[in-house]
Every structure is written in C-alpha cells, then in structure tokens.
Chain A
Amino acid sequence: MGYHSMNNFKKPLLLIIGLLLLVLFVSVVYSSIFKTDAEPERIRYNDSGEVIGKAPFPPSLTQPMGTDKVGNDLAVRMIEGAKYTILFITGVSFLRILVSLIIAYFLVFPFKRISEWVETVFIPFKYIPGLILVLLLSPDLNEAIVQMGFWKIVLYQFFLFVFIGIPILSAVLTKESRNVLKNEYIEASNQLGASSWRIYTKHIIPVLKDRLIVTFLQQLSINLLLLIQLGVFQYFIGGSKPGNIAAAEEVVPKYLSESGEWAGMIGQGKDEFLTAPWTFFGPLLISVVFLILIKSLVNKVEDANRKI
C-alpha cells in the first residue's frame, strides 16, 4: 500500500508546501524591502482642505480590502501578517506530530504497562476545548508583554499551542500504531530480533505515512481555527497594541494585533463588524479560502488512498 499511494499524495503535498512557501516569501520580501514607515492616513481632505472621511475607509481600487480604524491598509497588513500565521501553524503542527510520534513509541513499546494510565491523564485534554486551555494557561497578555517583550511571548504561545494538542494526537497515533503492530510480518521481524525502535521506524511509520500527511493538513486547519477563535476573544499572537485614536473619546480600550497575524486581524475587527464589516469579514474570508483549500487537499489525498 505504501509505495503505490506515494505518487498520489505527492502532488497535493507539493502543492501545499509550494503555496505556503510562496506566501511566506512574498510576506518576508514585502516587509523587508517595500515597507515604508510613513504614517497611515487617518483623515482624508478634499482639495479645499475640508474633511471628507475618517478611517476606517471601505475597500477601494487602491486599497482592495479597505483600511482599519487607524488607517492601515488591510491588504498590506494581511501580506505582512501572513508570515506569522503560516510559520506559526506549520511549526506548531509539525512539532506536535513529531513529539506525538515519539510519545506514541514509548507508549507502544517500553512503557506499554503504564500506557493505560498515561492515556487516562490525556482524557481532560480531549474534553476541555483548546480555546479554553490556551486562555487558562496564558498570562495577561497586556501586562506580560511589558515584562517579557514581543518574541518571548510569541515563543511561549508557540510552545503552549504545541503542548495542548499533544495528548490527543499521541493517543490517536498510539492506537494506530497498535493496529499496525497486529500485522503478521511485524511478528516475524520481531522474532528475527529487530529492536522495537527499528520496528517502529521501519515498519510502523512507513505504513502510517499517508495518515500522517492527512494529519498534518488537518492540524494546519485545526490550528488556524483555534487562532481565529482566540482572535475573537481578543487574544492575539504576540499580544496587542493600543488601537484607540488619540482624538476619539472612546471609553473602552481597543486593541490592534501587534503582529498583524491573520486571526489577530479578524479579532481586532470584531467590534466594528457592523460599522466597518470589511475589517472583520475581509481577513476572515481569506482565512476561510485557506481552510477550504486545505480541506480539498485532504479530500484528494483520502480519495487517492481509497482507490488503492
């Protein structure tokens, strides 16, 4: 099964990696070369100097996604923020799978006897929503960013995301590995004296390869969904910066995502979803397109596997 299906999932996999790299490339190149430090325009005047509009401005030909409440071009912010979103979700997904594979090895072989109890410890992670786990284990971002700074916060959030997903994934991979173990050829190689690590890496993981690719894609969308939910809760990767316009007499403090990461952009537009719907639905629609893309790739890989 392993070899024949390779070609079938190679194409979509290359496609998604290519796409991710392209977006990453554009995002990095854009912010390192073209970015200007010019103050965004908050108030627009006509020729005779009268005020004709105040940010947020709706989508137009020059600004296809409109601007946010302090006048930043949203399309530009999305391009800049894309690198954070993509690096974050691919990094989290990859590390989660890697760590879970190692934990699954220990639960299947050396610690077989206590695996039942370890899996019991995993249960709460399955039943408490990821959204709640992240909020539970995070400090107050607005205060912590003063103490820790931007990158330390991002790093903490990264490892927190990896951590909360590991128990479920390890449990799933342990179960799948045990299913593969039931095959007779593994019994044979066991009797020939193969070590358990060898059996795991040479026999079990290759069989699970197709599954792992689907898992990776699913993890990408799970993590993006979680980011969006957290964004709505005004929890941003890299914290937030004050978004109040100095002149406006707003009582409730409003925040902008510090990094411009996609889900943070969605979250910062939440309160204006009626007065300036583009600030909320624009970034959200782009994320939805991304999610649909991943889903269709998953379908393709699964169809290809089913045919064999």
Chain B
Amino acid sequence: MKNYLHFLNVYILSKGIKLFLKVLLVFLTVLMLASMKSLIYNQNILGFYPFEFLNTVKTTFGNILSLKDGLILIPHMVKTISVFNYLPKAYSYSMTVLFSALLLGVIFAFTFVYMYLWFPIKAKRLVRKFISILETLPDVFIIMSFQFGVIYLYKKTGLKFLQIYSLNTEVYIMPIICLMLVPLFMLIRIMITLFEKEYEKLYVDFARAKGLSQLEVFTKHVVRNIIYSFSQYLSLIYWMMITSLILVEYLFLIDGFTLLLYRFVSPEIFILAVGLILLPYGLIILLIKLIGRKIGVPQHE
C-alpha cells in the first residue's frame, strides 16, 4: 500500500511537470509567432534576420515580465493609446457581446429545435437541407446582409430603432444580434442531431409507455441528457464566434478588445490578447466538467 502511494506521488508529480512544460512550450510558440515578422521582414524587405529576431524575442519577453504598458493604434484616431487604459472597458464590453450572443443563440436554437420535433417527417427533411445550406453562409455575408437590411428598412420607414455604428457610444443590440446569427444554424444542426439520437433510445419509449406526457419526457429526461453532449460542442462554437467577433467589431467600428490582435505596436500586446481569448475558453472547459459531474455522466475523452 505504501509502495503504491509512493508511485502515485511520482506519477502525479511527473504529470504536473509535464503539464507545466507543455504550457511553457505553448507560451514560447506564441512568443515566436508574435516576433516572427522580424525574422523574415526588415522594413518590408523579405529576407532572413536572425539577430533582429532574437532581439525582438528578448525585448518582448522582458516587456511581458515587467508588465510594460504598451501602445495600440485605434483605427479612427490617428494617435496611439495605452493598453492598460483601454483594455478593461473594451474587454468587458467584448465579452458581454460575445456571451450574450452565445446565450441568445442557444435559446433560439433550442426553441426552434423544440418546435422542429413536432414537424412531420417530410418537413423535417426539408428543414435539415435548408439549415445545412444556411450553415455554409460566410459570417461576412450574414453580418453585412443584416446591416444592409436594417439600414434599408430605416430608409424606407424612417424608424431609427436600432443604432448601427458605435463611434462614440457603446451599442449592444446590433452586434449581439449579428454575432448570434453567425453560429445559429450550426447550433440548430448540432441540436437536431443530438435530439434525434436521444429520441432513438429505448428509455424514451419506456417513459412514454409509463404514461408520461411528451412534454414531461422532453423536459425531465431528454434535455437533461442532452446538456452534457451539447456542452462538448461549446468550445468549437466559442472559437468560431471569436473570429466572427473580430469581424463584427471591425465592421461596426467598435473599440473592442479584439483589435489588440492586429492593431498592436509591440508584440507583447499580441501575446496578451491571445491570453485574453484563452481565458474564457478555460472557464468554458471548467464549466463543461462541472456540468458533467453534476449530471453524473462518466467523463471520458
């Protein structure tokens, strides 16, 4: 027993060291990527500049360690702005938009799929085909068509109920709706597949035979089982939405946090921004684990 415990300790220790080394390696890769332009370009001339590259890596690393306040260029202002002044407000704004859109998208998709379950089979097939086509629409197309549609309506009716651009004020409604529309069709497709798989299982028939109503089976059993399978897809959807968030903020002229990724003056800001998109991702992974534990689904890969 004692021996076994000893091995267990070594095992945990080696796992811990491995994890630490892996995190370090990922960090180093991002550091290299952030500085890579100085390896191949010097004043826009293509070449190989190892010394400039090493210098950039060194200063970037030093700047991260000393938490130096960097500068970013804001698109519609000519001057540069300090990151630490800019970031807190921009980050909370971007994350509010992102997660409201995600939540709204899930709610809409869920409502739609709930109705879909009552459709006749022929209509179901048609809906699936239609969703699969809608899913291929590029995010640029969805965002711009929506924007165009709203402005067109405004011109026709004169109702300015939605403010589009956000040069000065923080605007939430339009970006959230646009960002929600982008993953909506994929969400619907995933949910349809999950629900149909679940309804094929025996316990649904059993519960129905026991005299539970359709609604009861749905809310008490099916949904519970689906939440876990669905949470597995959350990280994929998150990454998809990050790209769309970059586009939405760019197209709506929003001073969000994603412009740190391409408007930085020195590379450490890029690394900071990558860290900031990874942070909510870590929280999502944690949430999935918690959901799994709460529902009691065995945690497998």
Contact = CB atoms under 8 A, between A and B. Distances in A.
A229 B240 CA distance: 13
A120 B25 contact: yes
Contact of B250 (A144, A233, A284): A233
A225 B138 contact: yes
A256 B132 CA distance: 34
B202 interface: no
Contact of A284 (B26, B144, B274): B144
Given A124-B30, A124-B274, A139-B44, A266 B140 contact: yes
A137 B274 CA distance: 15
Given A136-B270, A147-B46, 10 more contacts: A117-B25, A121-B26, A136-B262, A137-B37, A139-B37, A139-B41, A232-B250, A284-B141, A288-B141, A295-B135
Interface in A106-123: 117, 120-121, 123
Contact of B44 (A123, A126, A143): A143
A62 to B, nearest CB: 25
B133 A124 contact: no
B97 to A, nearest CB: 17
15 contacts: A126-B239, A129-B243, A135-B261, A136-B270, A148-B45, A232-B140, A266-B140, A270-B144, A273-B148, A280-B144, A288-B136, A288-B138, A288-B141, A291-B136, A295-B132
Nearest to B243: A129
A298 B26 CA distance: 33
Interface in B15-52: 22, 25-26, 29-30, 33-34, 36-37, 40-41, 44-46
Interface in A124-147: 124, 126-133, 135-137, 139-140, 143-144, 147
Interface residues of B, number: 42
Interface in B235-250: 239, 242-243, 246-247, 250
Nearest to B145: A281
Nearest to A293: B136
A123 B45 CA distance: 29
A198 interface: no
A127 B277 contact: yes
A124 B28 CA distance: 10
Interface string B135-173: 111111100110110010000000000000000000000
Contacts of B148: 273-274, 277, 281
B278 interface: yes
Q: Summarize B's interface: helix, strand, loop or mixed.
A: helix
Pick from B137, B139, B141, B277 the residue with the most CB of A within 10 Å: B141
Contacts of A225: 138-139
Nearest to A232: B140
Given A143-B44, A292-B133, A132 B246 contact: yes
Contacts of A117: 22, 25
B29 A129 contact: no
A229 B239 CA distance: 15
A273 B144 CA distance: 8
B151 A274 contact: yes
Contacts of A284: 138, 140-141, 144
A292 B136 contact: yes
A273 B251 CA distance: 12
B108 interface: no
**Residue with the greatest number of chain A CB neighbours at <10 A, chosen from B36, B140, B247:** B140
In order of increasing CB-CB distance, the 7 nearest A-B pairs are A295-B136, A129-B243, A144-B44, A139-B44, A143-B44, A135-B262, A132-B261
A170 interface: no
Contact of A129 (B30, B151, B242): B242
A269 B246 CA distance: 19
B262 A124 contact: no
B270 to A, nearest CB: 7
B285 to A, nearest CB: 12
Contacts of B195: none
Interface string B93-105: 0000000000000
Contacts of A92: none
Contacts of A139: 37, 41, 44, 46
Contacts of B133: 292, 295-296
A299 B247 CA distance: 28
**Interface core residue of B34, B40, B46, B277 (most chain A CB under 10 Å):** B46
A240 interface: no
A217 to B, nearest CB: 12
A120 B239 CA distance: 18
Nearest to B258: A132
A197 to B, nearest CB: 28
A137 B141 contact: no
B137 A288 contact: yes
A299 B132 contact: yes
A221 interface: yes
A54 interface: no
A232 B277 contact: no
A266 B26 CA distance: 35
B53 interface: no
A156 interface: yes
A281 B152 CA distance: 14
Given A123-B29, A124-B33, A127-B281, A228 B274 contact: no
A244 interface: no
Task: Name the residue among A128, A228, A288 with the largest chain B CB count within 10 angstroms.
Answer: A128
Interface in A266-308: 266, 270, 273-274, 277, 280-281, 284, 287-288, 291-292, 294-296, 299
